A and B are shown apart, each in its own frame.
Chain A
Amino acid sequence: MKPRRGRPRVLVIDDQSRTVEALGRLLASEAELVPVRSGDGSRPHARSWREAEPLLDERRPLDAVVLDVRFDLPDEELLPDERLLGDDAAARRRRKERRDRQGIYILERLRRRRPDLPVLLTTAYEDIAFEEAALTLRADSFTYAIGEDEASAEGVVRALRRILEERDSPPRTGRFFWGSSAAMRELRRKVSALAPTPMPLLITGPTGTGKSLLARDVVHALSSRSGAFVAFDCATVPEGLLQAALFGTLRGAFTGAIADRPGVFEAAAEGTLFLDEVENLTSDAQKMLLTAVNDGRIRRLGATAEIPHTARLVAASNADLGRRAKDGSFRSDLLMRLNPSLALELPRLTERREDLPELARATAGAFFGDSRHRRAIASLVRASGGPEPPLTDEALTLALSEDEARKTEAPVTFVLPRKAWTAMEKHPWPGNVRQFEMAIADALAAAVYAGGGASIDASGRARIPLDARLLFDLLAGARAAEAGAGPFSLERPRASSVAAYRRELEKAAMRALFREARGDFERMSEAMTGSPREARAVRLRFNKIGLSAREDR
């Protein structure tokens, strides 16, 4: 995603002047309308492709194009061939057709030159006379149309603002990585609309796609709710304690309940309650949850009266809840209350491979942001005979090939060999974003703490190569873990007794398996038992022996 850089430049291509008047009046200083010089002076819009084309080569790049679809132009200005058509019936029909779809022709030319330039059509897809063109345009993730109800000056301006905001959106919100793929931009739009509402939400997506980060750093953050974000992992709490953990207990409710204790619903008052892996709730807990969502009331264990709750519920699952509802293992009425038709679906990383370069750089940026790593990098550069590097964000960079490294001016560049990057681009990444981030972070850490140092060029710039072999091993290790096979090495535990040694050994094994499975408990279960079905038991054990999914990555 491009960084913010001054007023965006917008080119309007329209034979009429109303849209450009609207943009000039309502956008005012927010954007610069690119002027077109013609025989009769200067105009703030291009009337045809002939006028627009030279502007694509200007030194200062365009940020967006606003394009009409129908153009009343003379034959010699009409694409596709800008020639006179004559005046018989066939020529008149052809002229009409060219005028009707002139915007589509212009867009085709534009796309050959600038495939990723955002283009706003000042019409709704539904109003485009050529339905096959409308379908093609919908598939182009950088072409936008206004909504059917936005056919006004304010509507066009609103639509353009949305596009420009998207251009300026940072690649991360908190720790959640967006990227620029069509799927994620669509998700971003959906989240912006749904997050501020109080309605329960469902987040779906395979493991490692960032469901809990999306819930915490985006949905909760955008909701402006005054209460806390409380995460509750439905897979890690033993069945017998679920009800107490969710709804709280009254003193004396059961043996050992020596004091009143609120549950997570109360802890998330006026905030967001995030139920991760909601498919793991028992049927009793599902029933109670349904009551809580339907009535806005909960009952502590041991209590006779219900109390209102004000938590907004966000649930996440990597299971097919629709199928679970059909086979009866998940309540369909609870699923309906989670608004499945509005579910925020996180795609697999392989479905958004175009985001990989940006994700690699964002991961490196997060790694460089850690002051311990910065100090280690500075010391590595000094030890390699380089000058003290400035430790700003801009000074440290990751290049995804040797060629790219040669072009960068940054004082310190980590260089990922081209062949390693190609392998990463093709890797299936079953652990998705989390697995990819761990691979990049591991490779960077190895280069900083155990690498062969930096090479310093004549200008004092440091180049630190990432170990391609290590990356291949990481990918191969991930594949082996995916297959539940391959070598399995442990750190040798030390302990003061045999019992303690046994405990430490189990911890070391679990930690190694966890890392190998890239934090995916289903894969751990597969590696341990040959089946993913024991994932819940694995996770319970993992937590019980004192390991943490966050800290042990």
Chain B
Amino acid sequence: MPDDDRRREASRAAARLQHDLGRYIRFWAPEEMEPDTEALRARLIRDVLATRSGPEGVVPAAAVFEEWLAEEGARFAGAEDAAALERLRSSVEKLRALAARLPMLARPELLELDRLTRSIAEDCRGLVRTVRGASR
């Protein structure tokens, strides 16, 4: 595949991740952080454990990422892309570990999980920008 086509495919793949994960992982986040811990937990359950919700049921954020990575990961071989992807992979790993105990997490851990969702959303958008920048 010529280089231009490869970059275009990578750009579309990054946009797909931004759409499926980056946009939805903080979909219910309010502008002001919830002062109530249970409200924060309920929102994170919706955003992290039911990131996609369609007729086939719900898909958690980590699974959305893994499915995407298995299908598209190989497109991101450039140094900058690889670094951006590695950041994402690392954040998703931490998110998965915390999400597994979501119903029992104390507020500091919930806040850490919230921070991870923000970081993942930003990294998804960052990946789109990195790939688009390189394809111009």
Contacts and interface: CB of A to CB of B under 8 A. Distances in A.
A145 B53 CA distance: 22
Contacts of A128: 15
A16 B16 CA distance: 14
B15 A16 contact: no
B61 to A, nearest CB: 13
A18 B50 CA distance: 10
A12 interface: no
Contact of B53 (A16, A123, A130, A151): A16
Contacts of A47: 55
Nearest to B9: A93
Given A100-B16, A129-B12, A153 B53 contact: no
Interface string A114-134: 000000000100111111000
Interface in B13-51: 15-16, 18-20, 22-24, 26-31
Given A152-B29, A153-B27, 8 more contacts: A16-B54, A22-B28, A70-B19, A100-B12, A123-B19, A127-B18, A130-B12, A152-B27
Sorting the interface of chain B by its residue count into under 10, 10 to 19, 20 to 34 or 35 or more gives 20 to 34
Interface residues of A, number: 25
A20 B47 CA distance: 15
A148 interface: yes
B99 interface: no
Nearest to A148: B125
A15 interface: yes
Contacts of A129: 11-12, 15-16
A72 B68 CA distance: 13
Contacts of B121: 151
Contacts of A123: 19, 23
Contact of B31 (A18, A96, A154): A154
Contacts, number: 54
Contacts of A131: 132
A130 B15 CA distance: 9
B25 to A, nearest CB: 10
A151 to B, nearest CB: 4
- What are the 3 closest A-B residue pairs judged by CB atoms, nearest first? A129-B15, A129-B12, A151-B23
Contacts of A148: 125
A127 B27 contact: no
Contact of B52 (A16, A126, A130, A154): A16
A15 B24 CA distance: 14
A344 interface: no
A96 B67 CA distance: 14
A382 B131 CA distance: 75
B19 A18 contact: no
Interface in A226-285: none
